[in-house]
Amino acid sequence: MVLGSGIAGLTFAIKVAEYYSDLGEEIQIDIFSKAELEESNTKYAQGGIAAVLNSLEDSFDKHIEDTISCGGGLPNKEIVNRVVKEAPKQIKSLINWGTQFDKNENGSFNLAKEGGHSEHRILHSKDSTGLEIEKTLLRKANSFKSIHLHYNRFAIDLLMHNCECIGALIVDELKQNVQTVTASYTLLATGGIGQVYEKTTNPVVATGDGIAMAYRAGAKVSGMEFVQFHPTALWSKDSPAFLISEAVRGFGGLLKSAHGNDFCAKYDFRASLAPRDIVARAIAFELQATKLPFVNLEVAHLDIKSFEKHFPKISQKCKSEGLDLAIDSIPVVPAAHYLCGGVEVDRNGLTSIKGLLACGECANTGLHGSNRLASNSLLEGMAYAEFCFIYIINNRRQKTSIYLPDKFYVYIPAHSLKVLKEKVKQIMSANVNIVKSTKGLVSALVKISALEKAFSSFETKSSIDVATLEYANMLTVSKLIIEQALSRKENIGLHYLKDLDDAYTSRK
Protein backbone atom coordinates (compact mmCIF):
# COMPACT_ATOMS: atom_id res chain seq x y z
CA MET A 1 0.00 0.00 0.00
CA VAL A 2 1.23 3.46 -0.95
CA LEU A 3 -0.28 6.56 0.67
CA GLY A 4 0.47 9.50 -1.61
CA SER A 5 0.95 9.94 -5.35
CA GLY A 6 3.95 12.24 -5.67
CA ILE A 7 7.43 11.35 -6.91
CA ALA A 8 8.25 9.15 -3.90
CA GLY A 9 5.09 7.03 -3.90
CA LEU A 10 4.86 6.60 -7.68
CA THR A 11 8.55 5.75 -8.10
CA PHE A 12 8.34 3.11 -5.37
CA ALA A 13 5.23 1.55 -6.93
CA ILE A 14 6.77 1.48 -10.42
CA LYS A 15 9.97 -0.17 -9.19
CA VAL A 16 8.03 -2.85 -7.27
CA ALA A 17 5.74 -3.48 -10.25
CA GLU A 18 8.66 -3.78 -12.67
CA TYR A 19 10.50 -6.20 -10.40
CA TYR A 20 7.61 -8.63 -9.95
CA SER A 21 6.59 -8.32 -13.60
CA ASP A 22 10.08 -9.44 -14.63
CA LEU A 23 9.83 -12.38 -12.20
CA GLY A 24 6.43 -13.32 -13.58
CA GLU A 25 4.89 -13.12 -10.09
CA GLU A 26 1.55 -11.55 -9.29
CA ILE A 27 1.38 -8.64 -6.87
CA GLN A 28 -1.14 -5.92 -6.03
CA ILE A 29 0.06 -2.37 -5.35
CA ASP A 30 -2.61 0.10 -4.23
CA ILE A 31 -1.85 3.83 -4.40
CA PHE A 32 -4.25 6.07 -2.47
CA SER A 33 -4.35 9.82 -3.18
CA LYS A 34 -6.50 12.21 -1.16
CA ALA A 35 -7.21 14.36 -4.22
CA GLU A 36 -6.68 13.98 -7.95
CA LEU A 37 -3.72 11.70 -8.59
CA GLU A 38 -1.38 14.34 -9.96
CA GLU A 39 -2.11 16.81 -7.12
CA SER A 40 1.03 16.69 -4.98
CA ASN A 41 3.97 18.84 -3.93
CA THR A 42 5.94 17.19 -6.75
CA LYS A 43 3.65 18.83 -9.32
CA TYR A 44 4.58 22.30 -8.02
CA ALA A 45 8.36 21.78 -8.04
CA GLN A 46 9.69 24.24 -10.61
CA GLY A 47 13.46 24.27 -10.27
CA GLY A 48 14.55 20.72 -10.97
CA ILE A 49 16.42 17.72 -9.66
CA ALA A 50 20.06 17.79 -8.55
CA ALA A 51 22.53 15.24 -9.92
CA VAL A 52 26.24 15.12 -10.71
CA LEU A 53 26.40 14.36 -14.44
CA ASN A 54 29.34 16.55 -15.52
CA SER A 55 32.38 14.86 -13.98
CA LEU A 56 34.79 17.25 -15.71
CA GLU A 57 33.65 20.23 -13.63
CA ASP A 58 31.53 18.65 -10.90
CA SER A 59 31.96 15.70 -8.52
CA PHE A 60 30.07 13.66 -5.96
CA ASP A 61 32.33 15.13 -3.27
CA LYS A 62 31.26 18.67 -4.21
CA HIS A 63 27.56 17.78 -4.09
CA ILE A 64 28.06 16.01 -0.77
CA GLU A 65 29.90 19.00 0.69
CA ASP A 66 27.25 21.45 -0.55
CA THR A 67 24.48 19.34 1.03
CA ILE A 68 26.23 19.02 4.40
CA SER A 69 27.26 22.68 4.48
CA CYS A 70 23.74 23.84 3.58
CA GLY A 71 22.33 21.61 6.33
CA GLY A 72 24.51 23.24 8.98
CA GLY A 73 26.63 20.13 9.43
CA LEU A 74 23.62 18.18 10.74
CA PRO A 75 22.98 15.92 7.72
CA ASN A 76 23.92 12.26 8.17
CA LYS A 77 27.12 11.92 6.10
CA GLU A 78 26.49 8.28 5.23
CA ILE A 79 23.00 9.10 3.96
CA VAL A 80 24.19 12.13 1.99
CA ASN A 81 26.91 10.04 0.35
CA ARG A 82 24.42 7.29 -0.53
CA VAL A 83 21.73 9.62 -1.95
CA VAL A 84 24.12 11.78 -3.99
CA LYS A 85 25.75 8.72 -5.59
CA GLU A 86 22.30 7.29 -6.36
CA ALA A 87 21.35 10.35 -8.46
CA PRO A 88 22.69 9.35 -11.92
CA LYS A 89 20.88 5.99 -11.74
CA GLN A 90 17.58 7.65 -10.85
CA ILE A 91 17.96 10.25 -13.61
CA LYS A 92 18.53 7.42 -16.08
CA SER A 93 15.30 5.77 -14.88
CA LEU A 94 13.33 9.00 -15.35
CA ILE A 95 14.68 9.43 -18.88
CA ASN A 96 13.94 5.79 -19.76
CA TRP A 97 10.39 6.28 -18.50
CA GLY A 98 9.96 9.30 -20.78
CA THR A 99 10.92 12.42 -18.82
CA GLN A 100 12.07 15.26 -21.08
CA PHE A 101 14.81 17.40 -19.52
CA ASP A 102 16.00 20.59 -21.24
CA LYS A 103 19.11 20.30 -23.40
CA ASN A 104 21.56 22.73 -24.98
CA GLU A 105 22.04 23.13 -28.72
CA ASN A 106 24.86 20.54 -28.60
CA GLY A 107 22.52 17.94 -27.12
CA SER A 108 23.93 17.98 -23.59
CA PHE A 109 21.76 18.67 -20.56
CA ASN A 110 21.22 22.35 -19.80
CA LEU A 111 22.31 22.18 -16.16
CA ALA A 112 21.27 25.09 -13.94
CA LYS A 113 22.81 26.42 -10.74
CA GLU A 114 20.82 27.25 -7.62
CA GLY A 115 21.44 28.65 -4.15
CA GLY A 116 23.98 26.72 -2.11
CA HIS A 117 25.31 24.73 -5.08
CA SER A 118 28.95 25.16 -6.06
CA GLU A 119 28.38 23.95 -9.62
CA HIS A 120 25.71 23.77 -12.34
CA ARG A 121 24.01 20.42 -11.65
CA ILE A 122 20.22 20.97 -11.79
CA LEU A 123 18.31 19.14 -14.50
CA HIS A 124 15.06 20.85 -15.39
CA SER A 125 12.16 20.97 -17.80
CA LYS A 126 11.65 24.71 -18.28
CA ASP A 127 10.07 25.91 -14.99
CA SER A 128 7.69 22.95 -14.69
CA THR A 129 10.08 20.12 -13.84
CA GLY A 130 7.88 18.63 -11.14
CA LEU A 131 4.85 18.54 -13.42
CA GLU A 132 6.88 16.89 -16.21
CA ILE A 133 8.12 14.20 -13.81
CA GLU A 134 4.67 13.68 -12.24
CA LYS A 135 3.04 13.14 -15.65
CA THR A 136 5.80 10.75 -16.68
CA LEU A 137 5.42 8.69 -13.51
CA LEU A 138 1.62 8.54 -13.81
CA ARG A 139 1.92 7.33 -17.41
CA LYS A 140 4.40 4.67 -16.36
CA ALA A 141 2.35 3.59 -13.34
CA ASN A 142 -0.76 3.23 -15.53
CA SER A 143 1.12 0.80 -17.78
CA PHE A 144 1.19 -1.85 -15.03
CA LYS A 145 -1.85 -3.99 -14.29
CA SER A 146 -0.48 -4.62 -10.79
CA ILE A 147 -0.72 -0.92 -9.85
CA HIS A 148 -4.18 0.24 -8.79
CA LEU A 149 -4.58 4.01 -8.58
CA HIS A 150 -7.30 5.36 -6.28
CA TYR A 151 -8.07 9.08 -6.00
CA ASN A 152 -10.24 11.00 -3.54
CA ARG A 153 -9.24 8.48 -0.87
CA PHE A 154 -8.30 9.80 2.55
CA ALA A 155 -6.25 7.73 5.00
CA ILE A 156 -7.81 8.19 8.44
CA ASP A 157 -5.31 6.19 10.49
CA LEU A 158 -2.77 3.39 10.26
CA LEU A 159 -3.95 -0.10 11.18
CA MET A 160 -1.91 -1.49 14.05
CA HIS A 161 -1.75 -5.10 15.28
CA ASN A 162 0.73 -6.33 17.90
CA CYS A 163 2.60 -2.98 17.59
CA GLU A 164 3.08 -3.52 13.85
CA CYS A 165 1.54 -1.64 10.91
CA ILE A 166 -0.65 -3.88 8.77
CA GLY A 167 -2.34 -1.26 6.58
CA ALA A 168 -4.60 1.76 6.90
CA LEU A 169 -8.18 2.84 7.35
CA ILE A 170 -9.27 4.50 4.09
CA VAL A 171 -12.37 6.56 3.35
CA ASP A 172 -13.74 7.13 -0.14
CA GLU A 173 -14.49 10.87 0.02
CA LEU A 174 -17.21 10.68 -2.63
CA LYS A 175 -19.07 7.56 -1.48
CA GLN A 176 -18.28 7.92 2.23
CA ASN A 177 -17.29 4.24 2.38
CA VAL A 178 -14.73 3.33 5.04
CA GLN A 179 -12.40 0.48 4.09
CA THR A 180 -10.02 -1.53 6.24
CA VAL A 181 -7.18 -2.02 3.75
CA THR A 182 -4.40 -4.38 4.80
CA ALA A 183 -1.01 -4.77 3.15
CA SER A 184 2.29 -6.57 3.66
CA TYR A 185 3.99 -3.15 3.70
CA THR A 186 2.61 0.37 3.98
CA LEU A 187 4.58 3.26 2.50
CA LEU A 188 3.93 6.81 3.71
CA ALA A 189 4.59 9.26 0.89
CA THR A 190 2.09 11.89 1.98
CA GLY A 191 4.11 15.09 1.52
CA GLY A 192 4.45 18.11 3.77
CA ILE A 193 2.73 20.48 6.18
CA GLY A 194 2.64 23.84 4.38
CA GLN A 195 -1.07 24.43 4.96
CA VAL A 196 -0.52 25.14 8.67
CA TYR A 197 0.83 28.53 7.50
CA GLU A 198 -1.03 31.46 5.95
CA LYS A 199 1.38 31.75 3.04
CA THR A 200 2.69 28.55 1.46
CA THR A 201 3.73 27.24 -1.92
CA ASN A 202 2.16 23.86 -1.04
CA PRO A 203 -1.16 22.70 -2.49
CA VAL A 204 -4.23 22.54 -0.23
CA VAL A 205 -3.68 18.81 0.34
CA ALA A 206 -0.47 19.42 2.35
CA THR A 207 -1.91 19.14 5.86
CA GLY A 208 0.65 16.77 7.40
CA ASP A 209 -1.67 13.74 7.39
CA GLY A 210 0.98 11.03 7.12
CA ILE A 211 3.13 12.51 9.87
CA ALA A 212 0.13 12.89 12.18
CA MET A 213 -1.02 9.30 11.51
CA ALA A 214 2.46 7.91 12.15
CA TYR A 215 2.80 9.93 15.35
CA ARG A 216 -0.56 8.66 16.66
CA ALA A 217 0.58 5.12 15.90
CA GLY A 218 3.75 5.63 17.97
CA ALA A 219 6.37 6.28 15.27
CA LYS A 220 9.34 8.50 16.02
CA VAL A 221 9.01 11.99 14.53
CA SER A 222 11.95 14.40 14.53
CA GLY A 223 13.36 17.55 12.92
CA MET A 224 9.96 19.24 12.84
CA GLU A 225 11.51 22.56 13.89
CA PHE A 226 13.22 22.76 10.49
CA VAL A 227 10.47 24.23 8.30
CA GLN A 228 11.95 25.72 5.15
CA PHE A 229 10.48 28.95 3.83
CA HIS A 230 11.17 29.49 0.15
CA PRO A 231 12.60 33.02 -0.16
CA THR A 232 10.73 33.96 -3.31
CA ALA A 233 7.00 33.45 -3.61
CA LEU A 234 5.09 35.98 -5.70
CA TRP A 235 3.57 38.64 -3.46
CA SER A 236 -0.19 38.22 -3.81
CA LYS A 237 -3.19 36.92 -1.89
CA ASP A 238 -3.21 33.60 -3.77
CA SER A 239 -3.11 30.33 -1.83
CA PRO A 240 -1.12 28.31 -2.57
CA ALA A 241 1.36 31.09 -3.24
CA PHE A 242 2.91 31.10 -6.72
CA LEU A 243 6.53 30.00 -6.50
CA ILE A 244 9.24 32.01 -8.24
CA SER A 245 11.85 29.32 -8.70
CA GLU A 246 15.31 29.55 -7.19
CA ALA A 247 16.51 28.93 -10.73
CA VAL A 248 15.53 32.53 -11.54
CA ARG A 249 18.34 33.70 -9.25
CA GLY A 250 20.60 31.03 -10.72
CA PHE A 251 19.79 32.56 -14.12
CA GLY A 252 20.97 35.95 -12.88
CA GLY A 253 17.99 37.42 -11.05
CA LEU A 254 18.93 39.66 -8.11
CA LEU A 255 17.11 40.38 -4.87
CA LYS A 256 17.01 44.10 -4.11
CA SER A 257 15.44 46.29 -1.47
CA ALA A 258 12.88 48.99 -2.31
CA HIS A 259 15.83 51.40 -2.50
CA GLY A 260 17.75 49.17 -4.92
CA ASN A 261 20.23 47.80 -2.37
CA ASP A 262 21.62 44.26 -2.64
CA PHE A 263 20.66 43.60 0.99
CA CYS A 264 21.45 39.84 0.87
CA ALA A 265 25.15 40.67 0.52
CA LYS A 266 25.09 41.93 4.14
CA TYR A 267 24.41 38.39 5.34
CA ASP A 268 26.44 36.15 3.02
CA PHE A 269 29.08 36.58 0.32
CA ARG A 270 26.90 34.53 -2.06
CA ALA A 271 24.17 37.19 -1.73
CA SER A 272 21.06 36.17 -3.72
CA LEU A 273 22.51 32.68 -4.28
CA ALA A 274 23.11 31.88 -0.63
CA PRO A 275 21.22 28.85 0.81
CA ARG A 276 17.51 29.29 1.43
CA ASP A 277 17.66 29.70 5.19
CA ILE A 278 20.04 32.66 4.86
CA VAL A 279 18.16 34.37 2.03
CA ALA A 280 14.72 33.91 3.63
CA ARG A 281 16.03 35.30 6.93
CA ALA A 282 17.65 38.24 5.13
CA ILE A 283 14.30 39.05 3.49
CA ALA A 284 12.48 38.73 6.82
CA PHE A 285 14.90 41.19 8.44
CA GLU A 286 14.60 43.57 5.45
CA LEU A 287 10.80 43.55 5.60
CA GLN A 288 10.93 44.16 9.33
CA ALA A 289 13.28 47.12 8.88
CA THR A 290 11.45 48.76 5.96
CA LYS A 291 7.87 47.90 7.07
CA LEU A 292 7.18 47.08 3.41
CA PRO A 293 5.18 44.00 2.33
CA PHE A 294 7.72 42.63 -0.16
CA VAL A 295 11.22 42.88 -1.64
CA ASN A 296 12.07 43.02 -5.34
CA LEU A 297 13.49 40.31 -7.56
CA GLU A 298 15.06 42.12 -10.49
CA VAL A 299 15.29 40.45 -13.89
CA ALA A 300 15.06 43.48 -16.25
CA HIS A 301 18.87 43.48 -16.69
CA LEU A 302 18.69 39.98 -18.20
CA ASP A 303 17.93 38.92 -21.78
CA ILE A 304 14.12 38.90 -21.37
CA LYS A 305 13.44 36.78 -24.46
CA SER A 306 15.83 34.13 -23.17
CA PHE A 307 14.27 34.45 -19.71
CA GLU A 308 10.75 33.94 -21.07
CA LYS A 309 11.89 30.89 -23.04
CA HIS A 310 13.53 29.42 -19.94
CA PHE A 311 10.71 30.34 -17.53
CA PRO A 312 7.48 30.36 -19.57
CA LYS A 313 5.17 29.56 -16.65
CA ILE A 314 6.68 32.25 -14.39
CA SER A 315 6.69 34.81 -17.22
CA GLN A 316 3.04 34.16 -18.01
CA LYS A 317 2.04 34.44 -14.35
CA CYS A 318 3.88 37.75 -13.99
CA LYS A 319 2.18 39.10 -17.11
CA SER A 320 -1.20 38.08 -15.72
CA GLU A 321 -0.34 40.17 -12.64
CA GLY A 322 0.33 43.19 -14.87
CA LEU A 323 4.12 43.02 -14.65
CA ASP A 324 6.33 43.91 -17.61
CA LEU A 325 9.54 41.98 -16.88
CA ALA A 326 11.55 44.21 -19.23
CA ILE A 327 10.83 47.08 -16.83
CA ASP A 328 9.27 45.85 -13.59
CA SER A 329 10.75 43.93 -10.70
CA ILE A 330 8.93 40.87 -9.35
CA PRO A 331 7.55 41.50 -5.84
CA VAL A 332 8.41 38.48 -3.65
CA VAL A 333 8.06 37.29 -0.07
CA PRO A 334 9.07 34.06 1.72
CA ALA A 335 6.45 31.32 2.01
CA ALA A 336 6.35 27.99 3.86
CA HIS A 337 7.73 25.51 1.37
CA TYR A 338 9.30 22.31 2.68
CA LEU A 339 9.62 20.32 5.89
CA CYS A 340 13.13 18.97 6.47
CA GLY A 341 12.01 16.75 9.37
CA GLY A 342 9.21 14.23 9.63
CA VAL A 343 8.77 10.54 10.38
CA GLU A 344 12.20 9.23 11.31
CA VAL A 345 13.52 6.50 8.99
CA ASP A 346 16.72 4.47 8.68
CA ARG A 347 18.88 3.99 5.58
CA ASN A 348 16.27 1.60 4.14
CA GLY A 349 13.30 3.92 4.68
CA LEU A 350 12.02 1.93 7.67
CA THR A 351 10.25 3.81 10.44
CA SER A 352 10.35 2.75 14.09
CA ILE A 353 7.17 0.71 13.42
CA LYS A 354 7.55 -2.68 11.75
CA GLY A 355 5.79 -2.86 8.38
CA LEU A 356 5.75 0.93 7.95
CA LEU A 357 8.09 2.75 5.56
CA ALA A 358 8.26 6.44 4.67
CA CYS A 359 9.93 8.48 1.97
CA GLY A 360 9.66 11.90 0.40
CA GLU A 361 8.87 15.05 2.33
CA CYS A 362 6.99 13.31 5.15
CA ALA A 363 10.16 11.40 6.10
CA ASN A 364 13.19 12.55 8.06
CA THR A 365 15.94 10.63 6.28
CA GLY A 366 18.90 12.58 7.65
CA LEU A 367 19.73 14.04 4.22
CA HIS A 368 18.78 17.66 4.90
CA GLY A 369 19.81 18.33 8.49
CA SER A 370 18.81 21.85 9.46
CA ASN A 371 18.17 23.10 5.91
CA ARG A 372 17.54 21.49 2.52
CA LEU A 373 19.80 22.23 -0.42
CA ALA A 374 17.79 23.39 -3.43
CA SER A 375 16.60 20.62 -5.79
CA ASN A 376 17.63 17.83 -3.44
CA SER A 377 13.98 17.02 -2.62
CA LEU A 378 13.02 15.29 -5.87
CA LEU A 379 16.32 13.41 -5.73
CA GLU A 380 15.64 12.28 -2.16
CA GLY A 381 12.14 11.11 -3.08
CA MET A 382 13.46 8.90 -5.89
CA ALA A 383 16.51 7.64 -4.01
CA TYR A 384 14.54 6.59 -0.95
CA ALA A 385 11.85 5.00 -3.11
CA GLU A 386 14.70 2.84 -4.42
CA PHE A 387 15.99 2.04 -0.93
CA CYS A 388 12.48 1.12 0.27
CA PHE A 389 11.96 -1.05 -2.82
CA ILE A 390 15.24 -2.93 -2.29
CA TYR A 391 14.35 -3.57 1.34
CA ILE A 392 10.86 -5.00 0.74
CA ILE A 393 11.90 -7.40 -2.03
CA ASN A 394 14.63 -8.79 0.23
CA ASN A 395 12.39 -8.94 3.30
CA ARG A 396 9.07 -10.40 2.25
CA ARG A 397 6.26 -10.07 4.76
CA GLN A 398 2.86 -11.71 5.00
CA LYS A 399 -0.31 -9.65 4.98
CA THR A 400 -2.39 -9.75 8.18
CA SER A 401 -6.14 -9.24 8.20
CA ILE A 402 -8.02 -7.46 10.98
CA TYR A 403 -11.61 -6.58 11.82
CA LEU A 404 -12.46 -3.17 13.21
CA PRO A 405 -15.86 -2.24 14.67
CA ASP A 406 -17.63 0.88 13.41
CA LYS A 407 -16.27 4.09 14.86
CA PHE A 408 -17.66 7.59 15.33
CA TYR A 409 -15.68 10.64 14.23
CA VAL A 410 -15.65 14.27 15.26
CA TYR A 411 -17.60 16.56 12.97
CA ILE A 412 -17.15 20.34 12.87
CA PRO A 413 -19.62 22.43 10.80
CA ALA A 414 -17.99 24.01 7.71
CA HIS A 415 -18.39 27.63 8.88
CA SER A 416 -16.74 26.88 12.25
CA LEU A 417 -14.04 24.74 10.64
CA LYS A 418 -12.98 27.52 8.28
CA VAL A 419 -12.50 29.87 11.24
CA LEU A 420 -10.54 27.25 13.22
CA LYS A 421 -8.20 26.43 10.32
CA GLU A 422 -7.51 30.13 9.81
CA LYS A 423 -6.77 30.45 13.51
CA VAL A 424 -4.12 27.71 13.28
CA LYS A 425 -2.54 29.42 10.28
CA GLN A 426 -2.51 32.78 12.08
CA ILE A 427 -0.94 31.32 15.24
CA MET A 428 1.79 29.52 13.29
CA SER A 429 2.50 32.46 10.95
CA ALA A 430 2.73 34.95 13.81
CA ASN A 431 4.81 32.86 16.22
CA VAL A 432 6.48 29.95 14.38
CA ASN A 433 7.82 31.68 11.31
CA ILE A 434 11.32 32.37 9.93
CA VAL A 435 12.31 34.48 12.95
CA LYS A 436 10.92 33.11 16.22
CA SER A 437 11.20 33.77 19.95
CA THR A 438 10.82 31.53 22.98
CA LYS A 439 7.98 33.71 24.23
CA GLY A 440 6.18 33.44 20.91
CA LEU A 441 6.63 29.66 20.78
CA VAL A 442 5.25 29.25 24.31
CA SER A 443 2.27 31.43 23.40
CA ALA A 444 1.66 29.36 20.26
CA LEU A 445 1.87 26.11 22.22
CA VAL A 446 -0.74 27.31 24.71
CA LYS A 447 -3.12 28.35 21.90
CA ILE A 448 -2.69 25.20 19.81
CA SER A 449 -3.10 23.01 22.92
CA ALA A 450 -6.34 24.84 23.72
CA LEU A 451 -7.65 24.19 20.21
CA GLU A 452 -6.61 20.56 20.51
CA LYS A 453 -8.50 20.23 23.79
CA ALA A 454 -11.58 21.91 22.33
CA PHE A 455 -11.57 19.53 19.34
CA SER A 456 -12.96 16.64 21.38
CA SER A 457 -15.90 18.75 22.56
CA PHE A 458 -17.52 18.79 19.11
CA GLU A 459 -20.20 16.23 18.27
CA THR A 460 -19.32 12.88 16.70
CA LYS A 461 -20.95 11.17 13.72
CA SER A 462 -20.68 7.80 12.00
CA SER A 463 -20.03 9.58 8.66
CA ILE A 464 -16.61 11.01 7.88
CA ASP A 465 -15.84 14.69 7.31
CA VAL A 466 -12.38 14.75 5.75
CA ALA A 467 -11.92 18.48 6.32
CA THR A 468 -12.41 17.97 10.07
CA LEU A 469 -9.84 15.15 10.13
CA GLU A 470 -7.40 17.35 8.19
CA TYR A 471 -7.85 20.01 10.86
CA ALA A 472 -7.01 17.45 13.56
CA ASN A 473 -3.83 16.54 11.65
CA MET A 474 -2.93 20.23 11.31
CA LEU A 475 -3.17 20.61 15.08
CA THR A 476 -0.95 17.56 15.62
CA VAL A 477 1.84 18.66 13.29
CA SER A 478 1.66 22.28 14.49
CA LYS A 479 2.17 21.13 18.06
CA LEU A 480 5.09 18.91 17.02
CA ILE A 481 6.75 21.82 15.21
CA ILE A 482 6.37 24.09 18.25
CA GLU A 483 7.49 21.51 20.83
CA GLN A 484 10.57 20.50 18.87
CA ALA A 485 11.43 24.15 18.21
CA LEU A 486 11.28 24.80 21.97
CA SER A 487 13.55 21.80 22.59
CA ARG A 488 16.35 23.05 20.31
CA LYS A 489 18.53 25.52 22.20
CA GLU A 490 20.76 26.64 19.32
CA ASN A 491 20.31 28.73 16.23
CA ILE A 492 21.12 26.57 13.25
CA GLY A 493 19.85 26.44 9.68
CA LEU A 494 16.13 27.05 9.49
CA HIS A 495 15.75 27.25 13.27
CA TYR A 496 16.31 30.82 14.42
CA LEU A 497 15.28 32.16 17.82
CA LYS A 498 15.80 35.90 18.14
CA ASP A 499 16.27 35.73 21.93
CA LEU A 500 19.16 33.25 21.53
CA ASP A 501 20.92 35.78 19.30
CA ASP A 502 20.12 38.61 21.71
CA ALA A 503 21.52 36.60 24.64
CA TYR A 504 24.71 35.84 22.70
CA THR A 505 25.13 39.52 21.77
CA SER A 506 24.67 40.67 25.39
CA ARG A 507 27.27 38.14 26.60
CA LYS A 508 29.77 39.50 24.09
* pLDDT, tens only, 440-461: 999 999 999 999 999 989 999 8
Q: How far apart are CA 212 and CA 228, in angstroms?
A: 19
Residue-level pLDDT at 44 = 55
Which string of DSSP letters, residue by residue, matches 381-430? HHHHHHHHHHHHHHS-------------EE---HHHHHHHHHHHHHHHHH
Task: Classify residue 79 by burial, with Cβ atoms within 10 Å: 0-12, 13-18, 19+.
Answer: buried
The CATH 1.20.58.100 domain(s) of the chain lie at: 409-507
Q: What is the DSSP letter of 497?
A: B
pLDDT reading at 127 higher than 90? no
Using DSSP's 3-state secondary structure scheme, residue 123 falls into strand
Give the per-residue pLDDT at 223: 98
How close are the terminal C-alpha atoms of the chain, in Å?
55
Strands of 138-226 (E only): list them.
Answer: 147-150, 153-161, 164-172, 178-182, 186-188, 221-222
What pLDDT does 474 receive?
98
Q: For 300-311, how does the pLDDT look when each residue is reduced to its tens digit (9 = 90+)?
A: 999 999 999 989
The pLDDT tens digits of the residues spanning 417-433 come to: 999 999 999 999 999 99
Beta strands in 174-269 (DSSP E): 178-182, 186-188, 221-222, 227-234, 254-256
**Residue-level pLDDT at 52:** 97
In the chain, ranges of CATH 3.90.700.10 domains? 233-335
Q: Domain 233-335, what architecture?
A: Alpha-Beta Complex (3.90)
- What's the pLDDT score for residue 130? 85
pLDDT band at 126 (very low <50, low <70, confident <90, very high): confident
Rounded-to-integer distance, Cα 326 and Cα 183, Å:
55
pLDDT (0 to 100) of residue 47: 66
The whole-number pLDDT of residue 453 equals 96
Annotated active-site residue 276? The verdict is yes
Task: Look at residue 506 and tell me whether its pLDDT is greater than 50.
Answer: no
**pLDDT average, residue stretch 397-425:** 91
| Mean pLDDT score across all residues of the chain | 93
Are 366 and 242 within 8 A, CB to CB? no
Instruction: Give the confidence band of 123 by pLDDT, cuts at 50, 70, 90.
Output: very high
Q: Are 388 and 86 in contact (CB under 8 A)?
A: no
Average pLDDT over residues 317-333: 95
CA dist., res. 135 & res. 99, Å (int): 9
- For residue 253, give the 3-state DSSP assignment: coil
Strand partners, 331: 296
**pLDDT tier at 502 (50, 70, 90 boundaries)?**
low
The predicted-structure confidence for 192-250, as pLDDT tens digits, reads as follows: 999 999 999 999 999 999 999 999 999 999 999 999 999 999 998 776 789 998 889 98
Superfamily per CATH, domain 2-226+340-394 = FAD/NAD(P)-binding domain (3.50.50.60)
468 and 346 in contact (C-beta within 8 Å)?
no
Dihedral (C-alpha) 443, 211, 454, 431: value to the nearest 10 degrees? 20
Is cis: bond before 88, omega within 30 of 0?
no
Q: What is the pLDDT of residues 46-85, one digit of tens each?
A: 668 999 998 889 999 999 999 999 999 999 999 999 999 9
Q: Where do you find CATH 3.50.50.60 in the chain?
A: 2-226+340-394
* pLDDT of amino acid 308: 93
* Residue range 25-44, pLDDT digits in tens: 999 999 999 987 555 555 55
Interhelix angle 466-487/414-431, rounded to 10 degrees, is 20
pLDDT at 507 over 50: no
Query: 82, 276, 281, 372: which is the annotated catalytic residue?
Result: 276
- For domain 409-507, say whether CATH 1.20.58.100 is its number: yes
Share of the chain above pLDDT 70, in %: 96
Confidence of residue 86 (pLDDT cuts 50, 70, 90): very high
5/330 Cα distance (integer angstroms): 32
Average pLDDT on 364-390 reads 97
Count other C-beta atoms under 10 Å from residue 38's C-beta. 17
Q: pLDDT tens for residues 473-488?
A: 999 999 999 999 999 9
Question: Is 153 in contact with 173 (CB distance < 8 Å)?
Answer: yes
Lowest mean pLDDT among 247-251, 358-362, 388-392: 247-251
pLDDT of residue 501: 73
**H/E run at residue 282:** helix 276-290
Which helix (H) or strand (E) segment is 69 a member of? helix 60-70
pLDDT in tens, 260-287: 999 999 999 999 999 999 999 999 999 9
Specify whether the CB–CB gap between 315 and 325 falls below 8 A. yes
